């Protein structure tokens, strides 16, 4: 079971949907979230921050290391590890995938009543095209898909 939470960036203009793998880390481990518009407020520190297409996540690495050690995780805990292994990362490939997915389903919903096989085919094609665009844009999690 994973904790999922929405968090507003430092400037308050954008919300990101986050996933906490296996509920190991608490929401307090994310010290700050910066969107592309407020990222200039961040004082970059590679020891506790990870960047993804203009977004910056600042972690409490000491707290994360403590909690992960308690659960038997022996890997080196870095910001990239927390993000890329999904311990505290986007819910989906980007901060907004939840909304994109919901909008896609709403838009195609009438087709589901008319022609279910075509609906499923179209849904798959459009989602794969979306993921391809995320890969091309450089989103970290999309690179692994």
Predicted pLDDT of residue 23? 87
E strand or H helix at 103: helix 97-114
On the question of pLDDT at 118 being above 70, the answer is yes
pLDDT of residue 2: 64
Task: Supply angle C-alpha 21, 24, 27, rounded to 5.
Answer: 85
Confidence of residue 4 (pLDDT cuts 50, 70, 90): confident
Residue 1's pLDDT band (boundaries 50, 70, 90)? low
3-state helix, strand, coil in the chain (%, to 5): 50, 20, 35
Q: Over 70: is that where the pLDDT of 12 sits?
A: yes
Tens of pLDDT, residue by residue over 129-144, are 999 999 999 999 999 9
pLDDT tens across 58-116, in order?
999 999 999 999 999 999 999 999 999 999 999 999 999 999 999 999 999 999 999 99
Crossing angle of helices 116-137 and 97-114, in 10° steps, is 160
User: What's the predicted TM-score (pTM) here?
Assistant: 0.90
Rg of the chain's alpha carbons, rounded to an integer? 17
Question: What gap in Å lies between CA 119 and CA 123, rounded to an integer?
Answer: 6
Our CA angle for 83, 85, 88, nearest 5°, is: 45
């Amino acid at each position: 079971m994973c904790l999922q939470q929405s968090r507003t960036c430092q400037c308050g203009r954008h919300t990101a949907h986050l996933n906490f793998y296996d509920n190991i880390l608490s929401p307090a481990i994310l010290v700050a979230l910066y969107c592309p518009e407020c990222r200039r407020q961040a004082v970059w520190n590679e020891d506790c921050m990870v960047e993804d297409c203009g977004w910056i996540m600042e972690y409490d690495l000491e707290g994360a290391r403590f909690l992960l050690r308690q659960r038997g995780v022996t890997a080196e805990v870095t910001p990239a590890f927390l993000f890329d292994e999904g311990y505290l990362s986007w819910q989906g490939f980007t901060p907004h995938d939840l909304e994109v997915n919901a909008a896609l389903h709403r838009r195609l919903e009438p087709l589901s009543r008319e022609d279910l096989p075509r609906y499923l085919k179209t849904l798959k094609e459009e989602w794969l095209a979306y993921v391809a665009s995320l890969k091309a844009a450089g989103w970290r999690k999309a690179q692994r898909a």
